[in-house]
């Protein structure tokens, strides 16, 4: 069953929401690969790359906002990345990882967004808002680095 994007998964931070939607699309492509090992390899590599850059982006927003649990959140990202990377090894060994991968991805992403990401959303939103009003026009600030 395809994972449906819903307002329940929205943080109200458009840049993050669209990255999360993109990850949902990647998860759905795992299903659409229909057990084709070559397609799966391409999707898994792209999914890992995209997720790693998304995590880095999220982490910089959390750090800039002074979010108390930024370190713990980063740890959760690292553990998840390692967990997904183990699927590469299994795929290389010729295993059909489709079902196990889908279970991990679907349950992890939904829980992570609803619980861990929701937790940082207020402080990050407030910080983004403050930064927009204060320094949008200025060059070289962290805001411009991330959004410029
Ligand atoms: Fe996260």
- Sorted by where each starts, the structural domains of the chain and their CATH numbers stand as 13-147 (1.20.120.50)
pLDDT at residue 131, as a whole number? 83
43 C-alpha to ligand 1 centroid (Å): 20
pLDDT at residue 145, as a whole number? 79
Q: Retrieve residue 10's tokens.
A: 């929205």
pLDDT at residue 62, as a whole number? 97
pLDDT tens per residue across span 76-87:
999 999 999 999
**CA torsion angle 79 82 86 92 (round to 10):** 160
Positions of the chain with pLDDT under 50: none
55 C-alpha to ligand 1 centroid (Å): 6
pLDDT tens per residue across span 81-105:
999 999 999 999 999 999 999 999 9
32 C-alpha to ligand 1 centroid (Å): 25
**Rounded distance between C-alpha atoms, residue 16 and residue 93, angstroms:** 34
46 C-alpha to ligand 1 centroid (Å): 18
Q: Please, where are the H alpha helices in 66-115?
A: 70-92, 98-111
């Amino acid at each position: 069953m395809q994972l449906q994007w819903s307002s329940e998964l929205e943080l109200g931070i458009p840049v993050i929401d669209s990255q999360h939607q993109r990850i949902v699309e990647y998860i759905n492509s795992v299903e659409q690969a229909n057990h084709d090992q070559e397609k799966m390899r391409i999707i898994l590599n792209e999914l890992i790359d995209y997720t790693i850059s998304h995590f880095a982006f999220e982490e910089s927003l959390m750090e800039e906002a002074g979010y108390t649990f930024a370190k713990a959140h980063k740890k959760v990202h690292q553990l998840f990345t390692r967990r997904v990377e183990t699927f590469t090894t299994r795929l290389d060994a010729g295993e059909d990882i489709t079902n196990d991968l889908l279970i991990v991805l679907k349950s992890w992403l939904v829980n992570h967004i609803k619980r861990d990401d929701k937790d940082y959303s207020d402080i990050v939103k407030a910080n983004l808002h403050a930064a927009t009003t204060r320094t949008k026009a200025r060059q070289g600030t962290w805001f411009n680095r991330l959004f410029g």
